[in-house]
Structure 1
Amino acid sequence: MFFTRSMTISDEELIGAVPAARSKPAAGQADTALVERLRSGEAEAYEELVDRFSGEIYGLAFRLTSDAADAADITQEVFIQAFRSIEGFRGEANLRTWLFRIVVNRARNRFRWWKRKRRDTTYSIDAPIGDGDATIADSLIDRSSSPEQDAIDSERMRALTKALAELKPIYREAVILADVEGLSYRECSAALGIDIGTVRSRISRGRDELRQRLKDI
């Protein structure tokens, strides 16, 4: 059972079912200093960039592609592109959002390639999220709760994950960035390369479709 009420699901309930994004520090002097060091070609700056953002980038890539191997490849590609393209970073968006836009574009390219190859993908919440045995499902369960609550939470996450995977890519991207990654409309606009009005429309449409897919669960 995913929701206790199946007739009407509000945005608040829908967003509440999504794992809460960790609060991110605002971009500021740290980003500015790191960008300048990257532009100077400092090796330690590249290592810091990877250390700071690799987990988030892999997580977003996995949620967009539904494939651990693809997500790992995209993560590597993103950092290579970021290092090569850092001169083009103008600071109109924060560094995290700029990196997310690269992730989105890489994921879109990968999706188009697989679509041409007619590859069917599945979105598994049991796929590993790193070098160890931990899975997405493991990371979403509150370990302080009871086994019964863990089972309910896991079932909810599986249902939501499946529903997200069934959305059209343009809606899935918007919902994931807003409701999973916690980006503002403005940040979503920068990451997706579309205007804020279109962002709002896609998020609204994506949430509506999720409600329809989850209403009988």
Structure 2
Amino acid sequence: MQFGALGELALDRAVPLTGDALLVQELQAGSEDAFAYLLKLYQDPVFNLIAHIVENNADAADVLQDVFLKVFRGVRHFHGESSLKTWIYRIAVHEASNHRRSRIRRHRREPFSLEESTTEPVSSLADGRAETPYQVLEQSERQDLVKRALASLAQPYRTVVVLREMEGLSYEEIARVLGVAEGTVKSRLMRGRELLRRKISRLGVRG
């Protein structure tokens, strides 16, 4: 996933800044190298998160640009109440959710398109490693079915599952991203996993 001119800047000028405090300090000072490093670090995982919410890669690319524009403009007001990653993910979830609601109001809900989706496979939910050509095909089909099942979950459950299972966020981080209690995160995740297993089972994949 590239981010136009900003993506090229990330590849050409990124420097290995370490630690939130140093990175934020450089961002707030307007360092182009820091912005490039931030893009290199976060644009792909943030794109994947957005794509799983809006269910359309073209829309996800548009939302991604909106997210990083808000990050760039708002970083001067970032005071470290949460991690930088959590703050960025919160913006991404908010922007993606707003975009999806707006699209639904305009066009009603659109069907999930496997052809449009290039998000990462939910490998933790599709077991097995393909070795033969037949297994390669079978594994691909399983991953497509899992993605289809994931897309059919209600957004509160899907978002929590994606943040936990695919992005690897802790319960505390997810709670901060979504602005809910950790107990709510755990209950949504438990319910989301169960719904996902049922949907996968109905589609013919053992969860």
Cα pair 1:123 1:161 within 8 Å, conserved: no
1:50 to 31, 34, 39: 39
Cα pair 2:153 2:192 within 8 Å, conserved: yes
What is the SS of the residue equivalent to 1:215?
helix
Deviations 1:15-68 (A, max 9, x none): xxxxxxxxxxxxx95221111011111222212211211111111111111111
Q: What is the distance in 2 between the residues matched to 1:84 and 1:145?
A: 47
1:31 to 20, 40, 43: 20
- 2:186 matched to 1:163? no
- 2:132 matched to 1:146? yes
- For the structure 1 residues 165 and 96, does the alpha-carbon distance in structure 2 shift closer, same or farther, using more than 3 Å as the test? same
The AA in structure 2 aligned to 1:71 is A
Deviations 1:138-177 (A, max 9, x none): x999997322221121111111111111111111101111
Q: What is the distance in 2 between the residues matched to 1:215 and 1:128?
A: 21
Cα pair 1:126 1:136 within 8 Å, conserved: no
The AA in structure 1 aligned to 2:21 is T
2:102 to 90, 93, 113: 113
Structure whose residues are more often helix by fraction? 2
Moved more, 100-109 or 48-57: 48-57
Q: How many correspondences in the alignment?
A: 184
Q: What is the distance in 1 between the residues matched to 2:80 and 2:198?
A: 39
Pairwise CA RMSD of aligned residues?
2.5
Moved more, 174-183 or 118-127: 118-127
Query: Gaps (5+ residues) in structure 2?
Result: 1-16
1:207 to 188, 193, 196: 193
Deviations 1:55-102 (A, max 9, x none): 111111111111111110111111110111113323233222211111
Cα pair 1:64 1:107 within 8 Å, conserved: yes
Taking every aligned residue pair, what percent have the same amino acid on both sides? Answer: 36
- For the structure 1 residues 125 and 81, does the alpha-carbon distance in structure 2 shift closer, same or farther, using more than 3 Å as the test? same
Task: Identify the structure with bigger relative contact order (alpha carbons < 8 Å, sequence gap 6+).
Answer: 1
1:182 to 146, 162, 168: 168
The AA in structure 2 aligned to 1:31 is D
The equivalent residue for 1:96 is 85
The equivalent residue for 2:8 is none
Per-residue deviation, 1:121: 2.6
With structure 1 as the length reference, what TM-score do the two structures score? 0.76
The AA in structure 2 aligned to 1:118 is H
Moved more, 142-151 or 156-165: 142-151
